[in-house]
Amino acid sequence: MQYKNAKEVLPPSLLKEMQEYIQGDLIYIPKANQKRVGWGEVSGSKALITKRNEEILHLYTNGKSFEELGQKFHLSVDSIRKIIYKMR
């Protein structure tokens, strides 16, 4: 998120209207719903976790135990179990 001066980006009439409600404070203006991207899509985190989960399922189907997978991926046995059951 980047700071922008309202005087530089808003039309004068809108700036004047906003000054009636807010003066000198910071305000966050969220993106419109149709323009929002999902969690982790921009940073690539979602893709990395999906790839990790697919690897966990693959290793499990090839005989690795919940405990072994937990140690390998630094996750609890319950987390490994949830990932596997969700991915099936």
pLDDT of residue 1: 67
Between residues 34 and 87, the one the model is more confident about: 87
- 1 within a domain of the structure (yes/no): no
Is 76 a domain residue?
yes
Whole-number pLDDT of residue 86: 96
Task: Please give the residue range of the domain that contains residue 25.
Answer: 6-33+40-87
Count how many domains the chain has: 1
Q: How confident is the model at residue 78 (pLDDT cuts 50, 70, 90)?
A: very high
HEC secondary structure over the chain: CCCCCHHHHCCHHHHHHHHCCCCCCCCCCCCCHHHCCCCCCCCCHHHHHHHHHHHHHHHHHCCCCHHHHHHHHCCCHHHHHHHHHHHC
pLDDT of 69 higher than 90: yes
Within a domain: 73: yes
Q: In this structure, what token pair is assigned to residue 15?
A: 């700036």
